[in-house]
Every structure is written in structure tokens, then in C-alpha cells.
Chain A
Amino acid sequence: AQKITQTQPGMFVQEKEAVTLDCTYDTSDPSYGLFWYKQPSSGEMIFLIYQGSYDQQNATEGRYSLNFQKARKSANLVISASQLGDSAMYFCAMRGGYNQGGKLIFGQGTELSVKP
């Protein structure tokens, strides 16, 4: 069975500083995708970044980067130069291969608060 774990219920970071949000996963599927989503208080889910299980390099998207350590089964999100607008819930999610039906399994989430 697939499982995603986020062990930080809440995190604080000073504006302009970098922050790392932890995510570990477990799966027996050799092909999988790892995703990070941001959910502001308004509720919408905003896709941030994707890492494939076969990708050799860590994914980056602007201020977001994914620290992918396959052997440790971790996929931590790094946000550089935090902004006040980064305050939100952050979810790590995993999607298995095509035979898994494409559904996403989410971690518990981390609430990030950016301090001015």
C-alpha cells in the first residue's frame, strides 16, 4: 500500500528566509510521481512542483525546489526567499503508475506561517 507522511503539523519561517517542509513516502510501485500542492485558506489546491521516480535531477520551479532522496524515500519541499503570501497549508502527494488508476494519496499537511 502507498503511504505519504508529513511529520510537521506547523512551521514558522521569517520572511525572506528559506524553509524546508518534510515528506516521506512508501510504495512498492517502481513508477510513481511525487507532487506538492499549496492550499490557501480559501481552499483551492495549487500545484507547485512534480518529481518523477526515475528523474535523475531534483525538480525546481522558481522559488520551489524538491529535495528528492530516493533511497531514503523522502521528497522534501524547499521554499526559498519566503514571502507573506506563502502562508498556507502544504500537502505532499503521491501518484502511482497507470495501473494504480492515477489517484493521489495525500500526506497530513504542514501549515506554514511566514512572519514579517
Chain B
Amino acid sequence: GAVVSQHPSRVICKSGTSVKIECRSLDFQATTMFWYRQFPKQSLMLMATSNEGSKATYEQGVEKDKFLINHASLTLSTLTVTSAHPEDSSFYICSASPGTGASNQPQHFGDGTRLSIL
């Protein structure tokens, strides 16, 4: 089945550091990938839609300059949390699906990244 790989699985770093998270589709091409953020015991909140070869589409309230998204190839999207602060600590998870984005295609998720900013 479709596999999405996400790295790293856990990051602990000092405040002010920039952190890059990678999301790869291993056995399919994905023109669109999605980035979500999840706080403990809460739901997944869509942050942005990553579009291959063009700018990402950010959800309302998400700072574009804080969360930089790059989708340079059909199998790789990256999320960079710039100048991270303790309030950016969260669980970040990406997803993608093969196909054209039709409503019957399940999204496949990476295993997520637990980001802790000290």
C-alpha cells in the first residue's frame, strides 16, 4: 500500500533554532501533501497544503514566515519551523495520497514528528 515516511520522529532543541521536517511519499507521486499540527488530546489541525512546484496554501491563522513549506519534487515536502519557541512545541504530521485528489482517496500519514523546544 501507499507509504509516507516522515523524519525526524522526535526533535528536542533550544529556543531560536530552526527545525526542518521531511515528508516523503515512498511508492507514489504526490503533487499535493498536507501538514497538520496536533496538541495533546486534541484533534489534527490542518496548517497548510503543500503544492509541488508552487507556493503552499496556508490555513487562516498560520504564519507563513514561521512555518516554511517547500515541495520541490513529487515525493518530498519539507516543513521548516523557523526560530522555534516553546509555544511551537507540538506533534506535526504530514499526509499525502496517490491519485488526483478525488474524494474517495484515503490520505496516508507519516508517523509524525514530536517537536519539543526548550
- List the B side residues contacting A111 at CB < 8 Å: 41
- List the A side residues contacting B100 at CB < 8 Å: 98
- The answer to whether B43 touches A44, judged by C-beta atoms less than 8 angstroms apart, is no
| Size bracket of the B interface | 20 to 34
In the complex, B46 has a CB within 8 A of chain A: yes
A105 to chain B, nearest CB (A): 7
- The answer to whether B32 touches A52, judged by C-beta atoms less than 8 angstroms apart, is no
- The answer to whether A97 touches B102, judged by C-beta atoms less than 8 angstroms apart, is yes
Most chain B Cβ neighbours within 10 Å, of A43, A53, A101, A102: A102
- The answer to whether B102 touches A44, judged by C-beta atoms less than 8 angstroms apart, is no
In the complex, B67 has a CB within 8 A of chain A: no
* A84-102 contacts to B (CB < 8 Å): 91, 95-98, 100-102
A19 to chain B, nearest CB (A): 20
In the complex, A31 has a CB within 8 A of chain B: yes
- The answer to whether B104 touches A33, judged by C-beta atoms less than 8 angstroms apart, is yes
A83 CA to B114 CA, complexed, in Å = 28
In the complex, A50 has a CB within 8 A of chain B: yes
- The answer to whether A101 touches B93, judged by C-beta atoms less than 8 angstroms apart, is no
In the complex, A35 has a CB within 8 A of chain B: yes
- The answer to whether B46 touches A104, judged by C-beta atoms less than 8 angstroms apart, is yes
B17 to chain A, nearest CB (A): 22
- The answer to whether A45 touches B109, judged by C-beta atoms less than 8 angstroms apart, is yes
In the complex, B105 has a CB within 8 A of chain A: yes
CB closest chain-A residue, reference B108:
A47
Q: What are 5 contact pairs spanning A and B, CB under 8 A? A: A33-B104, A43-B114, A91-B44, A97-B103, A102-B97
